[in-house]
Amino acid sequence: ESSEAKDLSETEAIIYEDDWIFLVPDLICDASNGLLWKVHLDLEAISASSSEVPSVLEFLQRRKLEANKAKQFCLAIARTVIRERRPVSMVARAIDVLVTSYSYSIKTGSYFKEMKAEKTSPSGIPCVNRPDAGNLTGAEISTAEVHPSALQ
């Protein structure tokens, strides 16, 4: 086995390391290797990739970075479940996830903050969200080398 293949297999085996630092919402700092990872989740691909509807809905409801897009995908999933005449228990669980999330956001006041933020951008120009339909990978990750002294 070549050293290049060995290095590749060792890298692929590392799924998670204890010294990673997760920076909200989409950065992972790997201080031991001097890397900064930027993760981009393709919500459209994720929402289309699973038949476990309640789990996908719960995941989408927790997205803060692209909340409006996630809400649109949730409504599309709920509409699809109803139109496809899935079992009543699945429809009920899907609706329950949405109602629970909505109820929580009303109680905490985050719903009204989101509504105000979605209406205008900081410059006062109305926001327009266009889903990127070209990338169906589900997640896109880019890395950059970081000098360890920059992390202190």
Q: Which of 3-7, 53-57, 146-150 has the highest mean pLDDT?
A: 53-57
Instruction: Give the mean model confidence (pLDDT) for residues 147-152.
Output: 54
- Of 1-5, 34-38, 59-63, 124-128, the poorest mean pLDDT is in 124-128
Helix orientation angle between 88-108 and 67-83, rounded to the nearest 10 degrees? 150
Listing DSSP states for 56-67 in one string gives HHHHHHT--TTH
For the stretch 94-139, pLDDT in tens is: 999 999 988 988 888 776 665 555 554 444 443 333 333 333 345 5
pLDDT of 67: 81
- Pick the more confident residue, 36 or 3: 36
- Confidence check: pLDDT of 29 > 50: yes
DSSP 138: S
For range 50-72, the mean pLDDT: 85
Q: What is the pLDDT of residue 129?
A: 36
Average pLDDT, the chain: 73
Query: How many Å apart are CA 63 and CA 70, to the nearest integer?
Result: 7
Three-class SS of residue 17?
coil
Q: Where are the domains of the chain?
A: 1-41+137-152, 43-134
Mean pLDDT of 20-36: 84
- The DSSP code sequence of 88-100 is HHHHHHHHHHHHH
